[in-house]
Structure 1
């Protein structure tokens, strides 16, 4: 709370320099217009229809500029402080509960800017994470072989890491087949069993947001509405930031393994006890043969794959395709081993099948052999075509992408649309500064998501090579894809940073009366200069008419947030396959 109050004081002090304290008093201006000081023409009712100047409750845009000026309304500290503390400050505090974990602070800062600047990308990465967890459990559901359950846990936990799988030199085959590697799977599962989960500060921040949202929504319907409080009302602000609540709660439920140092340490420790088959059939530590490992985390992959190296889970969008391919390689190895063990085929075909028991379904004597035997045990095709026949994109990627995109866009535009709805129907009705600011935020959020996802697809495509006389080369198209990937990623991050600043400033401007000026309050952009008018004297029937769009906005934003959390909870923690 002290930190939050410090932020509050800092923002207020900063705002005092950019927003003048003294401005236009629209009540005084309307009184002058009614007195006839500015002539008999220009008065309207609150629907824009011409009215007697002495009883006018609104004035045309042209008269507003002439009589009141083009400046903003008076900055009222009590309104700004109340609205900022109730609507915006709880969300700014909740941002600190997002999972980070990158080694570089700049990457953590960028992940925060990407989240706030593009809730679409944040929701997409979260939805993709739970869909991947469900997909991998389904993918391995028909496999029954020792360590398969631990393999699913490990691969799912490594979604926040640049996972790589090496099938050369029987490394992966040995890791799957040899009973000497049982310890590898068990220990790595244990070492990755740390969580970014609930804490007192996280629960307090979430409860603060929920309580503030409920109380302020109730207050907005029951409080006294005036011209000043109507335009500074934070109903729309509360809706446009409501997406943050299911995002934070979702990540806390998933508990992503995003601590870069701990994940790398766990992988290094596990790879030290990984065994590989040899020519004579006696397994040896993989570290005795080379620095290559079957499962490892890519390091120093270059600028094209930079986002894959960043462990904050919002970057899961960048790891989606390479992670899927890595999982596929492990799956095929386990699948072939499972099918052969179900047919009672030992690794060493010269030996007979040793029956297991209820504690050991596949006897360890059936899981030993030479390098050639181990490799052949998990191979589905002849060496000359393996594994080039497989998709370079992975299975099920399109359906998961489409579903993740759908729920992400629904959450983004459900909350953004609610904010636009509330601001649009607040007198004067129409698309103006407030509703337009929210619309720009939603559009930019979607554009950032499109850029970043396209960048990840191009980055994956840039890894494709063609074989010429046994040598592999990159084509002109793959090199161009790499350049475009870097450009789109950087452009997306710049736009996300700008969008973050934009939405925070838009909220501050709304609370600080910056948008209370003739041009904004008259909805000139929507109605046009000749038809625009500024409602100053808000009638009780105008306030009553706001109940429907305000209730609709609350229902739309909260409904989309609840549905998104329901989506996450349905898919989280899927049933794991049996060993």
Structure 2
């Protein structure tokens, strides 16, 4: 036994040593014992799926004493016989369709909240399995499927859960970070496209192919943290990055092409599966809208629609991660980039910026898709510098074909720093999430009893919590320096995100199993406008045009959902030639991009015209804030 254990430990140690030195994904040795293979952890997608399903399928009591249909019939019978105490009959103000019904021939019978609890009980009327399973199959399972399509990292279950809490609990910040990375990648693709004439597709080897590798690597580098501690180190890293990305020496070009090809092979696939999940979510929303506006349902159909509207930001977030797709093995790609820059240092023969450290790492943690807080990236500084150079229009590569200016021109702004242009990504993310919360709020608020209740109040709380996470994170970024303050702020934000995540899970569980189907939630007690209960159904409400409020909420969400998905798909189609591995496929993609841009010339000119005024406004703000060193950076950005 001791000898066998020694052999097993020796094998494990050898696997560890080889794993540290490997240069690419390796398959396990077929000679390894089967029991040892079971000890190797996987990406744990099954654990994540079980965790989410456990949260979203929390069992609730199936035998409830409350039955509102029978209770309503009993109360109406007591009122007809004169046996119902007068203080139990509601006579206060009424909003919405029930208020209009008061002056009609068939007014709704309203009782007070106290009467409802007296005759119907204080426990909710939990939904039967048939109704609960309808919500599970229509919304819960598609939502879980969408979340599982997100770009998680393998063999890191703890970090995966933190990322889930961040994406779901703080969707505005997460979407803002992803939109910002999409903008950087889009700018890289535009600069590669503009480097040659619009009808040129030069084959490799060519300066066009070299620039395609350079800007693709810049978009990858943008998603990693930099180990910068002093201004001297920042300038040194900037120099090494410029040389590694844009130097035209043959030796460096060969190394750069080799690294770019390797990282392209490591890029995640699976776009079709994610799009299929998005299509299923849209089909579920269509079914829910049909049920709510058709003559099929009761109140639960409208509330299911509200639940779908509340979560409509999730497809946009997941679709955006397709454009901002991370490598299959982020640590392997980081090692490749660090080794590449060490080789560049050796070629340049520059002194080490980390004294006493053997083989220092310039790149730190992978920060894509908002994984690392307060990560801005280095690409924007490089791109703004290149845009400011002379002659940067269509065919600009011919001007700098025989010069080293691309690799020697330094950035006049900081290598890593916040730029006001990111505010637009913040606004877009805020509008996307808030439009979904508002749409759900409108549907539930104006469904009798009209007023702020459990459902509409819960949607409002989720939106406010997401906005609060955005404000706290931006405040910590602006006013706290890296160190103890930021670390404390990070744990506070993690607590806020986890709380909002749990609140959203509670909303889904309560809607699925009928926890909201109680006297307190039916009477909309929160805002003071309710306080009464009726026992009518959707057909009665529809006779007083309740669909108008549902239409307002549905349009509010669906318009922003359509714009968000269209924007993400357009960005994917116009950027994919940058990271496509096969050259012919990449050039076919670029041909389609140019045809699409030609077909949409008019709208693009309008947006470019608006961008000029936006940049001018940024310049005025910078001048007002006293940032004169950035004023020379005030020029229209490329938006073609």
TM-score by length of 2: 0.67
Give distance in 2, aligned partners of 1:489 and 1:43: 52
SS of aligned partner of 2:125: coil
Shift in alpha-carbon separation, 1:12–1:20, aligned structure 2, 3 A: farther
Give distance in 2, aligned partners of 1:452 and 1:4: 26
Q: Does the 8 A contact of 1:236 with 1:422 survive in 2? A: yes
Q: Does the 8 A contact of 1:172 with 1:330 survive in 2? A: no
Shift in alpha-carbon separation, 1:361–1:312, aligned structure 2, 3 A: closer
SS of aligned partner of 2:111: strand
**Structure 1 residues 70-92: Cα deviation after superposition (integer angstroms, max 9, x where no partner):** 22124422211112221222111
Q: Does the 8 A contact of 1:184 with 1:274 survive in 2? A: no
Residue 154 of structure 1 is matched in structure 2 by 217
Alignment of 1:412-561 (within 5 A): 412-458=433-479, 461-462=481-482, 482-527=483-528, 532-538=531-537, 540-544=539-543, 545-561=545-561
2:119 to 67, 74, 84: 67
Are 1:265 and 2:316 an aligned pair?
Answer: no
Deviation at 1:68, TM superposition (A): 2.3
Give distance in 1, aligned partners of 2:75 and 2:493: 49
Alignment of 1:63-212 (within 5 A): 63-101=115-153, 104-135=156-187, 147-163=210-226, 167-168=235-236, 171=240, 175=244, 176-177=246-247, 179=249, 180-193=251-264, 194-199=266-271, 201-212=273-284
2:98 to 47, 69, 76: 47
Q: Does the 8 A contact of 2:109 with 2:534 survive in 1? A: yes
SS of aligned partner of 1:534: strand
Shift in alpha-carbon separation, 1:9–1:151, aligned structure 2, 3 A: closer
Give distance in 2, aligned partners of 1:80 and 1:411: 28
Give distance in 2, aligned partners of 1:197 and 1:223: 43
Give distance in 2, aligned partners of 1:108 and 1:188: 27
Residue 479 of structure 1 is matched in structure 2 by none
Give distance in 2, aligned partners of 1:527 and 1:430: 8
Q: Does the 8 A contact of 2:376 with 2:417 survive in 1? A: no
Shift in alpha-carbon separation, 1:96–1:8, aligned structure 2, 3 A: closer
**Number of equivalenced pairs:** 497
Shift in alpha-carbon separation, 1:184–1:290, aligned structure 2, 3 A: farther
Say which is worse superposed, 443-452 or 96-105, in terms of deviation. 96-105
Deviation at 1:207, TM superposition (A): 2.7
Q: Does the 8 A contact of 1:171 with 1:276 survive in 2? A: no
Residue 313 of structure 1 is matched in structure 2 by 369
Shift in alpha-carbon separation, 1:56–1:425, aligned structure 2, 3 A: closer
Q: Does the 8 A contact of 2:446 with 2:549 survive in 1? A: yes
SS of aligned partner of 2:270: coil
Deviation at 1:417, TM superposition (A): 0.7
Give distance in 1, aligned partners of 2:84 and 2:68: 14
Shift in alpha-carbon separation, 1:439–1:189, aligned structure 2, 3 A: same
Give distance in 1, aligned partners of 2:58 and 2:551: 34
SS of aligned partner of 2:514: coil
Shift in alpha-carbon separation, 1:191–1:167, aligned structure 2, 3 A: farther
Deviation at 1:554, TM superposition (A): 2.2
Mind listing any 5+ residue stretches in structure 2 that lack a counterpart? 1-44, 197-206, 228-232, 579-637
Bigger RCO (CA 8 Å, 6+ sep) = 1
**Structure 1 residues 281-305: Cα deviation after superposition (integer angstroms, max 9, x where no partner):** xx79999x997999x6434xxxxxx
Residue 39 of structure 2 is matched in structure 1 by none
SS of aligned partner of 2:221: helix
Alignment of 1:2-21 (within 5 A): 14-16=58-60, 19=61, 21=63
Shift in alpha-carbon separation, 1:11–1:489, aligned structure 2, 3 A: closer
Q: Does the 8 A contact of 1:101 with 1:258 survive in 2? A: yes
Q: Does the 8 A contact of 1:128 with 1:317 survive in 2? A: no
1:251 to 321, 345, 351: 321
Residue 65 of structure 2 is matched in structure 1 by 23
Give distance in 1, aligned partners of 2:571 and 2:338: 31
Give distance in 1, aligned partners of 2:564 and 2:57: 37
Deviation at 1:413, TM superposition (A): 0.7
Deviation at 1:108, TM superposition (A): 1.5
Give distance in 1, aligned partners of 2:55 and 2:432: 28
Shift in alpha-carbon separation, 1:225–1:318, aligned structure 2, 3 A: same
Give distance in 1, aligned partners of 2:506 and 2:243: 57
Shift in alpha-carbon separation, 1:448–1:258, aligned structure 2, 3 A: farther
Mind listing any 5+ residue stretches in structure 1 that lack a counterpart? 300-308, 343-356, 368-373, 381-386, 463-481
Q: Does the 8 A contact of 1:509 with 1:515 survive in 2? A: yes
Deviation at 1:502, TM superposition (A): 1.0
Shift in alpha-carbon separation, 1:532–1:185, aligned structure 2, 3 A: same
SS of aligned partner of 1:94: helix
Give distance in 2, aligned partners of 1:134 and 1:106: 32
Deviation at 1:43, TM superposition (A): 3.4
Give distance in 2, aligned partners of 1:416 and 1:13: 23
Deviation at 1:271, TM superposition (A): 3.5
**Structure 1 residues 185-221: Cα deviation after superposition (integer angstroms, max 9, x where no partner):** 2222212213223355434422321222212221222
Give distance in 1, aligned partners of 2:324 and 2:534: 48
SS of aligned partner of 1:525: coil
Deviation at 1:412, TM superposition (A): 0.3
Shift in alpha-carbon separation, 1:330–1:163, aligned structure 2, 3 A: farther
Alignment of 1:567-578 (within 5 A): 567-571=567-571, 573=574
Shift in alpha-carbon separation, 1:455–1:322, aligned structure 2, 3 A: farther
